[in-house]
């Protein structure tokens, strides 16, 4: 049946043309934006995943900036410790020379004083963006933001690289006494910041660590061996007792064993068969690993000062070497993490692209096909619209 009111052919042609135009619009959008998923309406699941991944990539870039800042800070400290190590070696050569009797110790002392001033200058200048890692002002640890971690449940946390600065204080400041550090220990001084006692043969004695502030340095000498612990937090005296206990036992001093408890009491037992001297001291935060460097004096007639200075400088060189190792390890870890983060960012970016980027070769082929379909659809609609005209011939 033919009708001038309802043109079914035209409606079919029109719907087909609308569909072709809609698909053509989508392909043109892919070509112009380069994205097959540019909004949530294109594919809500893929869009949501890509947005989360893009957010993580932005976070990775912030972490990368943090690593760069941390790397620069540690590099400055590392360069400073290397310079200090070289200077201490120069000081050591002067001290060795001063141990010879036929030398001018006064001139050697002048050179040593100049070199000590150079060390002090380097320690003070070794800062990056106001943070100095080797003068004791940075605290016990340096935390560097190193990663952004997303769990399977969607929760996010951050990871950090922690640089232990407890042995990296290279200032020449001797620090103040730590009052009350050994309260309760037999033989403590009036200020309770040091003690000296003798453990008889086949006897034992308690050393009580009674107070601590983060950065306090405890030292206990058993015979000729000295053991140290730097407090990491307030009231860290229990850790001091356990740490020095472990150091004493590891030293293998004949007949000497140590135990400790949670009350901060270190018990030293003497089974060596002879008396042994035990001493202790504590200084507050600010006591540097090079404390005593500026008091080295080889200018005497007996040579005793030069001999004592040689022992002192050896210990200081060891301290600087330990600091160099700490910063070198941190530099390597930061570099490794930075390289990993760069590769991870590239992987995420590639993954996002595979989810939302348009395949332009495919889009180009579809565009050509849809343009032909559009032309044919337009022609079909034109033919369908002309069909009612044919009815006029029936009425002639």
For 367-394, what is each residue's pLDDT tens digit?
Answer: 888 888 888 888 888 888 887 777 777 7
The CATH number given to 47-173+308-349 is: 1.20.1330.10
CA distance 133 to 125: 11
Least confident of 49-58, 121-130, 302-311, 322-331: 302-311
Which pLDDT does position 81 carry in this prediction? Answer: 95
Q: If you average pLDDT over residues 344-366, what whole number do you get? A: 88
pLDDT tens string 58-67? 999 999 999 9
CATH 1.10.1740 fits 194-285, yes or no: no
Please list, in sequence order, all residues whose beta carbon lies within 8 angstroms of the beta carbon of residue 145, skipping any fewer than 6 positions away: 62, 63, 66, 67, 70, 158, 159, 160
pLDDT tens string 190-241? 667 888 889 998 899 899 888 777 667 788 999 988 898 877 666 677 888 9
Q: Which of 294, 286, 293, 295 is nearest to 319 (CA)?
A: 293
CB neighbours (10 Å) of residue 188? 21
Sketch the domain layout of the chain as residue ranges: 47-173+308-349, 194-285
Question: Would you say residue 302 has pLDDT above 80?
Answer: no
Between the CA of residue 241 and those of 143, 204, 234, what are the distances in Å?
26, 15, 14
CA distance 351 to 46: 11
The values of phi and psi at residue 164, to 5°, are -75, 115
Question: Would you say residue 294 has pLDDT above 60?
Answer: yes
Structure tokens belonging to residue 227:
């053991």
How far does Cα 323 stand from its chain's mean position? 16
Between the CA of residue 341 and those of 56, 59, 74, 183, 323, what are the distances in Å?
11, 11, 19, 50, 27
| Mean pLDDT, the chain, integer | 86
CA-based end-to-end distance of the chain:
19
Q: Residue 89: pLDDT band by 50, 70, 90 thresholds?
A: very high
Q: If you average pLDDT over residues 354-366, what whole number do you get? A: 85
Q: Residue 336: pLDDT band by 50, 70, 90 thresholds?
A: very high
What SS3 state is found at 37?
A: coil
Which pLDDT does position 347 carry in this prediction? Answer: 93
* Residue 164 near residue 326, CB atoms below 8 Å: yes
Long-range contacts of 124-130 (CB under 8 A, 24+ apart): 125/80, 126/76, 126/77, 126/79, 126/80, 127/76, 128/72, 128/73, 128/75, 128/76, 129/69, 129/72, 129/73
Least confident of 64-73, 320-329, 381-390: 381-390
The structure's pTM equals 0.65
Q: Residue 345: pLDDT band by 50, 70, 90 thresholds?
A: very high
């Amino acid at each position: 049946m033919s009708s001038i009111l309802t043109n079914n052919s035209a409606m079919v042609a029109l719907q087909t043309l609308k569909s072709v135009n809609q698909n053509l619009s989508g392909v043109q959008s892919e070509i112009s934006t380069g994205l097959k998923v540019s909004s949530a309406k294109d594919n809500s699941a893929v869009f949501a995943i890509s947005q989360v991944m893009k957010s993580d990539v932005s976070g990775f870039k912030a972490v990368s900036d943090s690593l760069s800042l941390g790397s620069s800070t540690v590099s400055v400290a590392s360069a400073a410790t290397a310079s200090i190590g070289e200077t201490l070696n120069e000081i050591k050569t002067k001290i060795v020379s001063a141990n010879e009797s036929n030398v001018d110790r006064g001139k050697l002392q002048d050179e040593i004083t100049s070199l000590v001033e150079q060390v002090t200058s380097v320690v003070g200048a070794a800062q990056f963006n106001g943070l100095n890692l080797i003068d004791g002002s940075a605290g016990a640890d340096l935390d560097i933001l190193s990663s952004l971690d997303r769990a399977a449940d969607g929760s996010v946390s951050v990871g950090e690289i922690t640089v232990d600065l407890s042995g990296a204080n290279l200032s020449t400041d001797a620090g103040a006494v730590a009052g009350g550090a050994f309260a309760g220990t037999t033989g403590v001084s009036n200020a309770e910041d040091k003690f000296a006692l003798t453990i008889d043969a086949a006897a034992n004695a308690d050393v009580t660590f009674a107070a601590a502030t983060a950065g306090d340095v405890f030292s206990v000498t058993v015979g000729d061996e000295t053991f140290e612990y730097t407090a990491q937090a307030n009231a860290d005296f229990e850790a001091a007792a356990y740490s020095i206990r472990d150091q004493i036992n590891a030293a293998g001093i004949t007949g000497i064993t140590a135990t400790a408890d949670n009350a901060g009491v270190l018990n030293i037992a003497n089974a060596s068969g002879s008396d042994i001297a035990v001493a202790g001291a504590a200084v507050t935060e600010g006591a540097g690993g090079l404390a005593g460097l500026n008091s080295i004096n080889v200018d005497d007639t007996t040579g005793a000062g030069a001999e004592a200075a040689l022992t002192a400088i050896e210990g200081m060189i060891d301290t600087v070497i330990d600091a160099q190792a700490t910063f070198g390890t941190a530099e390597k870890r930061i570099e490794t993490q930075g390289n990993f983060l760069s590769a991870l960012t590239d992987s995420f970016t590639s993954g996002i692209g595979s989810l939302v980027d348009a395949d332009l070769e495919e889009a180009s082929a579809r565009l050509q096909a849809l343009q032909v379909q559009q032309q044919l659809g337009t022609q079909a609609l034109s033919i369908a619209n002309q069909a009612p005209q044919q009815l006029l011939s029936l009425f002639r």
